[in-house]
């Protein structure tokens, strides 16, 4: 069947055909689409709009697009958006919107002003897509870049960022904090005797034990191998670091390794204090490491501080 418009087709039939084509085009799009009048009242939405937002056309026609607002953005955000629309006739950006069921979703939105021959705005066309999957993938990649894949603890990169932030905060607020360098004793022998799967189970168990030994605001990180770092901020006094370190030693010693009941664990811990032992990340880590090695040479399964090395 020939769908072309004939030269003798009445204007009303041409208009009807054009409207059906326009509606079919809108509904075929994967992006949500919305047309409003110049006051912002919704005139029509397409099928993807309903699929993304949960609102049917009957529920939103005549309403303002604010029906989707999540409350995430402040008035300044929308003022900037309208300034761009009034100046250039276009705006693009990311908006966090709310579905009919109340769930929030990130959307990439493009809004265009439609004008008549006199240059007056008659309508606005909004086109948007749900970018939840994209954002989730980005967040997952960011998490993987900053966390140890075996234990899910912060890795060296994230630890460095947090220690640097702790230095800046402590300097500004005249506070102190501690770094605890935790190293398992005889971990290589465990790997050699029981295999790497058992070694991995040890590391995961130790990570969990260490998490349970500190406050939620503290950081437990894995540097690599059997080396861990604990960042203790906002300490009431210097004795707090030693108390936490001894608690960690006790929790590690009490650990039961799944599938390997004969494995008994111990660790050696070194402590470095800010600002006494250093005011830079590398310096504090190095001195905590030195204190940890001293604890190993003195018999393992104990806590030592860098200050005690200097006092000798």
Query: According to the model, what pLDDT value does residue 241 have?
Result: 96
Q: The pTM is what?
A: 0.76
Please, which residues have CB within 8 angstroms of residue 202's CB and are 6 or more apart in sequence?
Answer: 184, 187, 190, 257, 263, 265
Catalytic residue status for 101 = no
Q: What is the pLDDT of residue 3?
A: 46
* pLDDT per residue as tens digits for the range 279-293: 999 999 999 999 999
Angstrom distance (rounded) from CA 112 to CA 235: 54
Res. 259 pLDDT band, cuts 50 70 90: confident
By C-alpha distance, which of 87, 81, 252, 288 is closest to 180?
288
Q: What is the pLDDT at residue 258? A: 82
Give the integer Cα–Cα distance in Å for 180 and 305.
9
Residue 8: predicted pLDDT: 58
The span from the CA of 145 to the CA of 220, in Å, is: 16
What is the rounded radius of gyration, in angstroms, for the C-alpha atoms of the chain? Answer: 31
- When pLDDT is cut at 50, 70 and 90, the band that residue 1 belongs to is very low
Q: What confidence tier does 24 reach under pLDDT thresholds 50, 70, 90?
A: confident
Name every residue whose Cβ is closer than 8 Å to that of residue 48 and which is 6 or more positions away in sequence. 27, 29, 30, 31, 32, 33
Average pLDDT over residues 3-8: 51
pLDDT the model gives residue 311: 54
Domains along the sequence of the chain with CATH: 11-136 (3.30.450.20), 147-311 (3.30.70.270)
Helices (H), the chain: 11-28, 47-53, 57-60, 75-88, 132-146, 156-173, 187-194, 196-211, 239-253, 281-297, 306-311
Question: Measuring CA to CA, which residue among 121, 137, 98 is closest to residue 35?
Answer: 121
Question: Of 302 and 236, which is predicted with more confidence?
Answer: 302
Model confidence at 231, pLDDT cuts 50, 70, 90, reads: very high
Structural contact between residues 252 and 207, judged by C-beta atoms closer than 8 angstroms: no
Considering 130, 185, 218, 226, which one is annotated as catalytic?
226
Strands 267-274 and 90-98: unpaired
Q: Model confidence at 182, in pLDDT bands (50, 70, 90)?
A: very high
**Residue 232: per-residue pLDDT:** 98
% of the chain beyond a pLDDT of 70: 92
Is 272's pLDDT higher than 80?
yes
Which one, of 255, 251, 263, 227, lies nearest residue 148 by Cα?
227
């Amino acid at each position: 069947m020939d769908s072309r418009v004939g030269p003798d087709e009445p204007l009303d039939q041409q208009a009807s055909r054009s409207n059906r084509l326009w509606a079919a085009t809108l509904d075929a799009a994967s992006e949500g689409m919305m047309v409003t009048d110049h006051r912002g009242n919704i005139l029509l939405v397409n099928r993807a709009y309903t699929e993304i937002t949960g609102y049917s056309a009957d529920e939103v026609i005549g309403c303002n697009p604010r029906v989707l607002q999540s409350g995430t953005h402040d008035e300044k955000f929308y003022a900037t958006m309208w300034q761009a629309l009034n100046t250039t006739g276009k705006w693009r950006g990311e908006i966090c919107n709310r579905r009919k069921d109340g769930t929030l979703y990130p959307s990439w939105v493009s809004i265009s002003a439609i004008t008549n021959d006199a240059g007056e705005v008659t309508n606005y066309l909004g086109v948007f897509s749900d970018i939840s999957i994209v954002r989730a993938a980005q967040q997952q990649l960011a998490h993987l870049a900053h966390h140890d894949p075996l234990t899910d603890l912060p890795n060296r990169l994230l630890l460095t960022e947090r220690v640097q932030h702790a230095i800046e905060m402590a300097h500004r607020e005249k506070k102190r904090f501690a770094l605890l360098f935790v190293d398992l004793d005889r971990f290589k022998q465990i790997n050699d005797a029981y295999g790497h799967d058992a070694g991995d189970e040890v590391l995961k168990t130790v990570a969990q034990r260490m998490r349970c030994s500190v406050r939620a605001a503290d950081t437990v990180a894995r540097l690599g191998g059997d080396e861990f770092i604990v960042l203790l901020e906002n300490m009431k006094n210097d004795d707090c670091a030693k108390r936490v370190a001894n608690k960690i030693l006790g929790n590690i010693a009490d650990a039961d390794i799944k599938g390997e009941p004969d494995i008994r664990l111990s660790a050696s811990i070194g402590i470095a204090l800010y600002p006494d032992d250093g005011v830079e990340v590398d310096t504090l880590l190095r001195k905590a490491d030195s204190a940890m090695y001293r604890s190993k040479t003195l018999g393992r399964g104990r806590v030592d501080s860098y200050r005690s090395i200097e006092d000798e």
